[in-house]
Structure 1
Amino acid sequence: MMTGLVMAFFVIIMAVVGPRPAASAEGVALGYEGYLGGLHLMSAEVEMARNERNYRMETTAEGRGLVGWILDWQSKAVTEGVIGDNGELRPLRHRRDMVRGGKPAKIMQIEYRDDGVPLVARLREGDEAKFAEVEDRKGTVDPMSAVSAIVDQMAAGQACAGSSQVFDGKLRYDVTAKMGESLSLEGNKYMMYKGAAERCDLTLKAIDGFDEDELKGNPREREAPDDETMILTLWFASPAEGLPSVPVMASADSDYGGLRIYLARAEAADIPTEGQRAEAR
């Protein structure tokens, strides 16, 4: 089973594959294939849309290959939020469903008060959600909102930079973005894009909620032997004419082998924006 920090990477990867479409009901639908240690790990589909005030992102994923057969998992995550006058993304709600072995889904729900305090409910499918305030996580954001802000920078032609305090309902970690050197990707049979791409390195630093044996990662990626961090590298490019710059590849190293995520499908899509789905509270 993956360690908690690798699972945090998985959630982040599900977030980073949402690009910034135009400020209208037009969005982008993307499909990704993931591999861990050379084994087919997952398939993921992503939809994102936004207007001037609201944003929404939805991802669905399921296990593939031998790993998928052993773990037998599917997941779905949805984030809805509002966009401030300064462009800052503020989540209103986040929900993540995980199904394993055909059992009722484990659900993590987060609602956000106006003052930024998250209210968290953990439940099984069919149960009533009972929310608990988590005062010491005030000001944190969900993983999808955190990385969406970074993707916005890249889509706008800016350098990826900055950091976010992330809380996914259990794990608390920091995400810091730093621009790297551009590279021409040679491409392969798994990905639809080859050519020039911009590099953005995301560093995840474990803060709280991780078990002692989960603080692993790859020693080669650490600044010090006891540095509880992992690094995810994203490569951004426009995969087709008329589409925004999106992650065309993501890579990371872990104790379980190299993790590689490739963009396999991309198209424009008519996706309702948050202005049609949710209202700011």
Structure 2
Amino acid sequence: MTFKALVAGTALALMTGLGCSPARAEGQVNAAYAVYLKGFHVLNAQASYQLQPWGYGGSTQIKPAGLISWFVTMDVTSRVEGKFTPDGSVQPVLFDSGGISRGKHRHVRLEFSNDTPKVTDLQPPETDREPIPDSSLPHTVDTLSGMARLLHSLVTTGKCDGSQIVFDGIRLSEMVVYGPTVADIPQGQDEAYSGQALRCDFIGRQLAGFVKDSPNRAKLAAPQPGAVWFKKIDGLGAVPVRIEFNHPKLGRVMVVMQHAVAP
């Protein structure tokens, strides 16, 4: 698996990418996360997010950490904008992600109209992947908008049950989420928070956009479980403090909050 794919998986599992653009805004949260793979600290993620009753927006920056940074050059920034509908669904407007990954400058931009994403830029082209039919794209959302819907549902209804088809520009995936349950936050990676939290469990699986003739297709298409822990923090509200998910090739990935503040 490439680091670009790990970044995408982290964003999908996670809420780390829900943020707003203004330097200061009511309800905004700035957070830092560390990503661990097989116990090793491999990535750092800086995120700023804000959810309002009418909508959401945000940005993240992900870079390698620890020994990995000696061998891997990566600096990926993503941002998202969207609205909430009266029934609590999300209506994305824009998803943009770009930077240095796998030794090249890469960029993907999705613009949404009539609940359908359009890839307005994809550099370099992913010609080694099976094309996704246009008929599969209506009512899909980008990775970060899918997580915005989850957090919005948890805050407004106290539940995180639901499903969503997610499109990141090259892959189509399904996320099914259920819960929450009250559970202790696992410890072991220098977590900033401990004690009880609300845990939402999820299962993700890739549906389309596979690499042509990939020997790992069956693994990538298999359901992969994960969980996210939300803790209510004074002055910030419910914040995702830990995410765990299983990747079919890499194994268990953990995303751990280091700190979170209101600007």
TM-score by length of 2: 0.83
1:243 equivalent in alignment to 2:236: yes
The change in CA–CA distance for 1:71 and 1:191 in structure 2 (over 3 A counts) is same
Q: Which amino acid aligns with 1:93?
A: L
Q: Which moved more, 1:255-264 or 1:34-43?
A: 255-264
Q: Which residue of 2 aligns with 1:130?
A: none
Higher relative contact order (CA 8 A, sep 6+): 1
- The CA RMSD measured in Å over matched residues stands at 2.7
The change in CA–CA distance for 1:110 and 1:7 in structure 2 (over 3 A counts) is same
1:203 equivalent in alignment to 2:196: no
Q: Which moved more, 1:37-46 or 1:60-69?
A: 60-69
CA distance in 2, matches of 1:81, 1:195: 33
Q: Which amino acid aligns with 2:116?
A: V
Shift of 1:16: 4.8
Shift of 1:258: 2.5
Alignment check: 8 A CA contact 1:18 1:246 kept: no
Alignment check: 8 A CA contact 2:17 2:78 kept: no
Runs of 4 or more, structure 1, over 6 Å off, are none
CA distance in 2, matches of 1:29, 1:171: 28
Q: Which residue of 2 aligns with 1:213?
A: 215
Q: Which residue of 2 aligns with 1:97?
A: 98
TM-score by length of 1: 0.78
Superposed, 1:1-281 pairs within 5 Å as 1-2=1-2, 8-16=8-16, 18=18, 25-100=26-101, 103=104, 105-113=105-113, 115-120=114-119, 121-123=121-123, 134-156=134-156, 158-179=158-179, 181-185=181-185, 187-188=187-188, 190-211=190-211, 212-215=214-217, 228-238=222-232, 240-254=233-247, 255-269=249-263
CA distance in 2, matches of 1:268, 1:182: 25
1:42-93 CA-to-partner distances (Å, cap 9, x unmatched) read: 1111111243433201111101122333222111111111222333220011
Count of residue pairs brought into register by the alignment: 247
Q: Which residue of 2 aligns with 1:222?
A: none
CA distance in 1, matches of 2:169, 2:102: 22
CA distance in 1, matches of 2:140, 2:85: 16
Q: Which runs of 5+ in 1 are unaligned?
A: 125-132, 219-226, 270-281
Q: Secondary structure at the match of 1:144?
A: helix
Q: Which amino acid aligns with 1:205?
A: R
Alignment check: 8 A CA contact 1:173 1:204 kept: yes
Q: Secondary structure at the match of 1:15?
A: coil
